[in-house]
Structure 1
Amino acid sequence: MGYLKFTPYIYLIFALYFIYEGMAKWNDPEATPWLSFMIGGLAIFMFFFRRKFAKKMEDRNSKS
């Protein structure tokens, strides 16, 4: 169960990668940088969601 505390940070790594990829595609007229930015934003959202959910589960387990 200890590894579950570190999995939300994988979302941050993905977010940084996709934001970087979007910045790299910005000047290419045939590329779709907005898709990369949306995936990066979704990864950031998932980071905060997973962190909040893990904290909620931890509080629930400590009360039992």
Structure 2
Amino acid sequence: MHGYLKIIPYIYLAAGVFFIYSGFVRYNQGEEGFWIWFVIAALSIFMFFFRMRFAKKFTQNRNDKP
């Protein structure tokens, strides 16, 4: 169960990279709603850092208890 929890933040990071790429492709094609892809990318990258910080805090709290 804990193995996949270490992978989840990197999935968010990969999704962020994908959405940035997709946003640039849509921008270059002249589509109007390209900015929403950048918003989703920003949320994905935020979630990556949030999950990494949460995992670090959770591990420290678990190791600090006697």
TM-score (norm 2): 0.89
What displacement does 1:5 show?
1.0
Percent identical residues: 47
Residue number in structure 2 paired with 1:61: 62
Residue number in structure 2 paired with 1:20: 21
Structure 2 portions without partners, runs of 5+: none
Deviations 1:5-61 (A, max 9, x none): 111000011001100000000033443110000000110000000000000000000
Aligned CA RMSD, in angstroms, stands at 1.1
CA distance in 2, matches of 1:55, 1:10: 17
Give secondary structure in 2 for the equivalent of 1:23.
helix
Post-superposition, which runs of at least 4 consecutive aligned residues in structure 1 deviate over 2 A?
27-31
TM-score (norm 1): 0.91
Structure 1 portions without partners, runs of 5+: none
CA distance in 1, matches of 2:63, 2:31: 53
Between 1:17-26 and 1:30-39, the stretch displaced more is 30-39
Q: Could you say which structure has the higher helix fraction? A: 2
Residue number in structure 1 paired with 2:49: 48
Give secondary structure in 1 for the equivalent of 2:29.
coil
